Amino acid sequence: MNIIWLGHSGFRIEIGQAVLLVDPWLTGNPMFPAARRDEVLAGVTHILLTHAHGDHASDAAALSAATGAPVACIHEVSEWLNAQGSQTIGFGKGGTIDCAGAAVTMVNATHSASIDFGDKGLLPAGSAAGFMIAGEGHTIYVSGDTDIMADMAWMGEYHQPDIGILSCGGHYTMDMARAAWAARKYFNFRWVIPCHYKTFPLLEQTADRLRAGLPPGVALIEPEVLDPIRF
């Protein structure tokens, strides 16, 4: 299994026969090298969106058209993308879909979720979510944009993720210290990968506070853009 950071909150996850693009914001992402776009799109089977904000979803329709991969997301966003001509898989929190052998379950997140790009102003778009992605003997928790929430207690106990991909740059989401607290309180991770940081000056620029707050035995992996993390 490979987890490959695309900068900000975007990831390419190669798990079993699945190649998943999660929140793949490539166009305008200051961390992503545009010349390597084709490399990221090779073999993609599914696109997953946690919510509809432009720094997560604005490329989804174009990437779906380029790859032929369906966009899996909450129902309201799927309906909007369908109207743009995209192939989608709409589902809801608690729902599980089969993505080329990987089991992807939508779970709760606490964040706003409007469509904030394009020329129509703000459009309602359901609510924000995270994902539990299971395959190859691992379960990955993709938090999506969220703060700490009590739901993390049952999510950690029920799904037992061993890998946490946590949005923790602060300002728009929980910060590094809060993410470390959530990891200690609610999860039994073996590895933690931070995201939604470094992209802009108002976000945290290092994961130092996350590293300092994690329980003993939990490995922090600070990702490098397009450098595969292998499990």
Q: Does the pLDDT value for residue 51 go beyond 80?
A: yes
Query: pLDDT, tens digit, for every residue of 147-196?
Result: 999 999 999 999 999 999 999 999 999 999 999 999 999 999 999 999 99
> C-alpha distances in angstroms, 37 versus 9, 41, 43, 66?
16, 6, 12, 11
How many beta carbons lie within 10 A of that of residue 230, not counting itself? 8
pTM for this one?
0.97
Query: How much is the pLDDT for 157?
Result: 98
pLDDT band at 203 (very low <50, low <70, confident <90, very high): very high
Note whether 148 and 167 are within 8 A (CB). Answer: no
d(C-alpha 186, C-alpha 133), whole Å? 18
Kindly list the structural domains of the chain, giving each domain's residue range(s) and its CATH number in brackets, ordered by start.
2-223 (3.60.15.10)
Mean pLDDT of 19-39: 97
Query: How much is the pLDDT for 114?
Result: 85
Query: pLDDT, tens digit, for every residue of 94-153?
Result: 999 999 999 999 999 999 988 878 777 778 888 999 999 999 999 999 999 999 999 999
